[in-house]
Amino acid sequence: MDALKRYLLIIVLIVCGSAAAVYDVVLRLENDRVRSMSEHLLERIYIRALRDYYGLLTDVRFVLESGESAETLRRMQANTDMGRFLSFADQPSELVEAGDWQVTMALDELQGDISINGSGRHQPFLVLDLGLSRQQPQPRMLVRIDVINWIQHITEDLGIGDIPMYIRWQEHTIAPDPAHSRHLMMVFSDFLVPEISLYLSYAKVDSLFHQRLTAAVLALLVAIPEFILLFWLWRQYFHSRRLRLALDKSKKDLQAEKHANQARSRLLHHTSAQVQTLNQSLEEARRRMELSERLAALGEISAGIAHEINNPVAYCRSNLETLGEDLKALQDFIAAVDKLSDQLDPGSELYRQLAERYQTLALPEALASAPERVANITEGIDRVARIIQDMRKLSRQDSKKMALSQLNEHIESVLNIARSRLKGNIELEAELTELPLIPCNASQIGQVILNILINAIQALGDKPHGKITLIEQLSQHWLSIEVCDNGPGMNESTLSRVFEPFFTTKAEGEGTGMGLALCYQLIEAHHGRIEVESQLDEGTCFTVWLPLDPGRVQE
């Protein structure tokens, strides 16, 4: 009986010790895991905030460099997550309110001078007074940010809800509730601009994750004593001793696994940041390459456009000079007639001189040709206006969004511009069909067709009797645009790589090798396709297929 009591006491001690050990291990692991997940989630909030912020600065730089207004920036930010928490203006008096923090900053340095505009609202806003550089203070753009509600919006998107936070500069703070400054915070220094720090509370995020395993930990603590007691009743005392050794080993293994997981987590965070940086660099490079190709296409046609504009202008000037001389002569003649009208005598010397001057001026012929000259001037001016209108339509940087467009208006502009590049040996024919409204980005499609036409013109070179044809065909679900030339064609090796980025057969400095590759990407973005057929010494045909309904691209 005494031995049984002794064994029962040992079992109670073992159960209590094991339960305490398991509870301690689980609790520490849980705290470490929750803290790691909290830090990771709070870092995601910080990274997303910086992504939105630097996206805003990029748009501001674009607007300032292009000379656009605050309204343009408002439209650019309208569809972003950050857009509804922003206000824009060109003058401080239109935007800054009492109590707001005003940061005067140059975009090339991303450093600013902070000032507080008096005292006012309990929760002031952050106002960015942005310029391109300290050496170029104008133009400027003012952006007013509702920082607290913006960060709260990000936390709600991540499933956290409202999270205690405040923003600090020196002894000044922006916070929904000043009491939050007494809570344990996670600090992100240099938030948005140097000298400003963002403080986010662990407590809200920690409670989110703790709730998931609280019941499991309690159930485990209840099950351990029952399991050990039943195990002792069936397997005797030495089994409980072996279990205690196993628990000690498990504790060490869990500790080792915890350290390994922490190391993997740090590596994952570092890798994720690198991948994000690379993705941003890749997107920026792609955007710059697309703009370079558009500028390259405009450069290809600039000489022809200058020639096309110069000829009508010179023609108009010549006609104006001649017409001006004739009108001056007419004025002289009329003045002479008015002066001498009272002295006319058919037999007088004065009458004879007046008749000779009338014959010398050829007044009837000058007056008869004046309407034709005016019509020629009008035609030349109209021609210049059409060329300028087509150039503006092609070079316009539209939104990347698709819309129902009358595509033939852009195709006709492209044809007008391409004809300005034609030499006397090349003929360009187009067969356009009547089209419905096409869901597309018409500016991008025009860029693709112009690129193909310029390639065809360059391929024909000085070949006699060169010919380029553009034919549209409309089916039930597709629009096809076929551009063919009777140039030298391509061999199999060139044909297989024609859409490959950076591949070009042109001499160094004459092409980037991204023109057709960019065309391929733009047509794919429209859920269409682009095909090419070519035969040496016979010519090349490019066919662009655009779906009339992008939702039926599998047809």
* C-alpha distance from residue 28 to each of 24, 35, 88 (Å): 6, 10, 49
Q: Is residue 155 part of a domain?
A: yes
Q: Is residue 552 part of a domain?
A: yes
Phi and psi torsions of 140, nearest 5°: -130, 160
Tokens of 203: 């407590």
C-alpha to C-alpha distance for 164 and 42, rounded to whole angstroms: 12
- Of the candidates 180, 205, 230, which is a domain's last residue? 205
pLDDT computed for residue 553 by the predictor:
41
C-alpha to C-alpha distance for 127 and 145, rounded to whole angstroms: 6
pLDDT computed for residue 121 by the predictor:
58
Going by C-alpha positions, the residue among 313, 451, 287 that lies closest to residue 376 is: 313
pLDDT computed for residue 182 by the predictor:
52
C-alpha to C-alpha distance for 13 and 8, rounded to whole angstroms: 9
- Of the candidates 172, 205, 238, which is a domain's last residue? 205
Q: Is residue 246 part of a domain?
A: no
C-beta separation of 74 from 66 below 8 A: no
pLDDT computed for residue 554 by the predictor:
41
Collect all residues with Cβ–Cβ distance below 8 Å to 342 and sequence separation of at least 6.
Answer: none
Tokens of 279: 């993705």
Q: How many helices (H) and strands (E) are present in the chain, helices listed first? A: 11, 16
C-beta separation of 555 from 508 below 8 A: no
pTM of the model: 0.39
C-beta separation of 421 from 387 below 8 A: no
Tokens of 165: 């936070």
- Of the candidates 190, 205, 220, which is a domain's last residue? 205
Burial class from Cβ neighbours inside 10 Å (0-12, 13-18, 19+) for residue 227 reads: middle
Domain range enclosing 187: 83-205
Phi and psi torsions of 346, nearest 5°: -55, -25
Q: Is residue 258 part of a domain?
A: no
Q: Is residue 456 part of a domain?
A: yes
C-alpha to C-alpha distance for 516 and 459, rounded to whole angstroms: 14
Which residues of the chain are under the pLDDT cut of 50? Answer: 181, 211-212, 215, 303, 509, 512-513, 552-555
* C-alpha distance from residue 160 to each of 44, 185, 210 (Å): 12, 16, 13
Q: How many domains does the chain have?
A: 2
C-beta separation of 550 from 523 below 8 A: no
SS3 state at 507: coil
Rg of the chain over CA atoms, in angstroms?
40
Going by C-alpha positions, the residue among 161, 94, 173 that lies closest to residue 126 is: 173
Q: Is residue 293 part of a domain?
A: no
* C-alpha distance from residue 143 to each of 53, 58, 100, 130, 208 (Å): 11, 13, 12, 8, 35
C-beta separation of 418 from 453 below 8 A: yes
Q: Is residue 145 part of a domain?
A: yes
C-beta separation of 142 from 96 below 8 A: yes
Q: Is residue 211 part of a domain?
A: no
Strand residues in 298-445 grouped as ranges (E): 403-405, 426-431, 438-440
Q: Domain of 422: which CATH number? A: 3.30.565.10
